[in-house]
Amino acid sequence: MLLAEHENTSGPESAAFLALLLFHSVRLDARLNELGGIVLFDDQDLNRWDLSLLKEAFHWFELATNVPVATRYHAEAMIAAEHCRGKLTGQTDWDHIVSAYQMLCRLSPSLVHHLNCAIAVAHRGDIDAGIQMLDSLDCRGLKDRYYLWHAAQGSLLKMADQIEEAAESFRTAWSLAPTTAEKELICQKIDALRAHDRT
């Protein structure tokens, strides 16, 4: 906060960076369950969010976006802001999130950003387009060892009701996941697929 408020370092980029940190800090207590397992964003308990900190995050986000400046921190803060707003209201603006990921892919291209952009496109309602985006990524061999690629594929295939294919992707993701917590999270996704298949 000192950087964002100091006369020599204040400005829209510092405000965007602070907003991003605050948006993530809001959810710290909700990101893990009692056993230390990862809790996905959609499953987090709002009662464990720091809503006073969330108000502060939106304050700095508004300061950051009041000027025509675009940095990777603006894009990341926009994504975090839209997810938090959607959690509170029950209505997520996926158009804004897709636009922010597209900006992020231009300003700071990375495989993770492209994966998340494909997922956001699918959530916007363009499931086939999201799958095509994922398939078109040049993974340069990462596909063979990068569990998040397969986890993203599993999520998209589930959205497309391709349950068996989604389960296979999640099993591959499980085999490549580097930590116990991530493997347990993927197991939850596989269990959810089995429950879906029984309905």
Mean pLDDT per 10-residue run, the chain (199 residues)? 45 87 95 88 94 95 84 95 96 96 94 94 96 85 84 95 95 94 93 74
pLDDT score at 143: 77
Confidence (pLDDT) at 1: 53
Cα Rg of the chain, angstroms: 18
pLDDT score recorded for residue 169: 96
Cα within 13 Å of Cα(135), Cβ side: 8
Q: Is 184 helix (H, G, I), strand (E, B) or coil?
A: helix
CA distances from 30 to 44, 50, 92, 132, 193 (A): 6, 9, 19, 33, 24
pLDDT of residue 179: 92
What are the phi and psi torsion angles at 40 (to 5°)?
-65, 155
Question: Residue 29's CB: how many other CB atoms inside 10 A?
Answer: 13
DSSP-assigned letter for residue 84? H
CB 181 within 8 A of CB 36: yes
- For 70, the enclosing helix (H) or strand (E) is none
What is the pLDDT, as a whole number, of residue 68? 78
pLDDT, residue 6, reads 40
